[in-house]
Amino acid sequence: MAVSGKYGKLNIPKIGADEPVFILRAQDKLADAAIDMYRALAVSHGRQLASSLQKEIDAFKKWSGAKKMPD
């Protein structure tokens, strides 16, 4: 279990029962930009996950569902 302020308790493997999480959804118009900023921070710290984050950004951009501003 994990805990989201918006979505409540979530069953996410490898995350502790009381560990807070922040969820970005593909429907959020700001999400891919937020992930890209995080990717840039990862790159600036020499982290290898930067390439996998680019895959997530691409997936968010390719998602064909309706997009909206976050609520």
Query: 10 near 2, Cβ under 8 Å?
Result: yes
Residue 45: its pLDDT value, please?
93
Pairing of strands 2-4, 20-21: parallel
Residue 50: its pLDDT value, please?
82
Q: Pick out the chain residues at pLDDT < 70.
A: none
Residues 40, 51: Cα–Cα separation, whole Å = 10
Domain ranges of the chain: 24-71
Residue 71: its pLDDT value, please?
84
Residue with tokens 């680019």: 54
Residue 65: its pLDDT value, please?
96
Residue 41: its pLDDT value, please?
93
